[in-house]
């Protein structure tokens, strides 16, 4: 059985000093999803901040636990520049 890979969006809610954190998934489920720094793409763990919007793929293991992989930040394209 092949796992469905759908691009999701959410917000970083927790970052730890141990290189992992949690993302609150957008949408109806509002699930809190675990991620590890190794799953980041084009961003470093040190660059992340709680509240950052991200895109990711959600994988569910055989114990029905979710984790986020291929995580990228979503740029705020509001046109405003803050210095």
| Tens place of pLDDT per residue across the chain (83 aa) | 345 678 999 999 999 999 999 999 998 778 899 999 999 999 999 999 999 999 999 998 888 889 999 999 998 544 444 44
Query: Into how many domains does the chain fold?
Result: 1
Through-space distance between the first and last CA atoms of the chain, rounded to whole angstroms: 49
- Domain span at residue 66? 7-73
Quick check: is 16 in a domain?
yes
pLDDT at 52: 97
Quick check: is 80 in a domain?
no
Using a cut of 0.85, tell me whether the model's pTM lies above it: no
Residue 68 pairs in a beta bridge with 58
CATH number, residue 16:
2.40.50.140
Q: Which two tokens stand for residue 39?
A: 């799953």
pLDDT at 81: 44
Quick check: is 83 in a domain?
no
């Amino acid at each position: 059985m092949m796992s469905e890979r759908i691009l999701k969006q959410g917000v970083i809610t927790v970052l730890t000093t141990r290189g992992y954190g949690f993302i609150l998934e957008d949408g109806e489920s509002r699930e809190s999803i675990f991620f590890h720094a190794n799953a980041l793409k084009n961003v470093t763990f040190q660059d992340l901040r709680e509240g950052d919007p991200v895109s990711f793929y959600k994988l569910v293991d055989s114990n029905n636990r979710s984790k986020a992989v291929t995580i990228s930040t979503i740029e705020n394209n509001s046109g405003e520049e803050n210095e």
